[in-house]
Amino acid sequence: MQFESGNDALMSDINVTPFVDVMLVLLIIFMVTAPMMVQGVDVDLPVTTAAPLPASEDHLIISVDRDRAVYLNNQEVSVAFLAEKLGAILENLDSDAVYLKADRQVPYGVVVHVMSQIKKAGVKSLGMITLPDDEDADAS
């Protein structure tokens, strides 16, 4: 005669402890590496007292650094070809909003020339990126 005991039955529950352990390790890795992944063009922005505009999506950002190099979303581009390249990019985008951020050391004439190239590409909405007064005091 065989007697069956309840201890020999198969267990059908999923053990989630290893899954939670792996997720916590991944979370820690991403928390440590995320600050190192910040990219962009280093620009010394001018200070203004205007309130920030609400931003709902990513737009094209054109940067002019203190060496007068022009960047289109972190990729350097010649000012002569900026209108042509920007026009080709805007054909594939739903929004035609572009933001310009220029170093405060760049002469006004250079910034105006870049703005004219942006308008020549057919941009209807051009915004300027600046720093608020309180952030400038913290950065000093």
The architecture of the domain spanning 47-139 is 2-Layer Sandwich (3.30)
At residue 136, the pLDDT reads 46
Provide long-range contacts, Cβ within 8 A and 24+ apart, for 46-55.
46/102, 46/104, 46/130, 46/131, 47/130, 47/131, 47/132, 47/133, 47/135, 47/136, 48/130, 48/131, 48/132, 48/133, 49/132, 49/133, 50/130, 52/132, 53/127
Global pTM value:
0.55
Section 10-29 average pLDDT: 87
Residue spans per domain, the chain: 6-37, 47-139
Give the confidence band of 21 by pLDDT, cuts at 50, 70, 90.
very high
Tens of pLDDT, residue by residue over 81-93, are 888 888 888 888 7
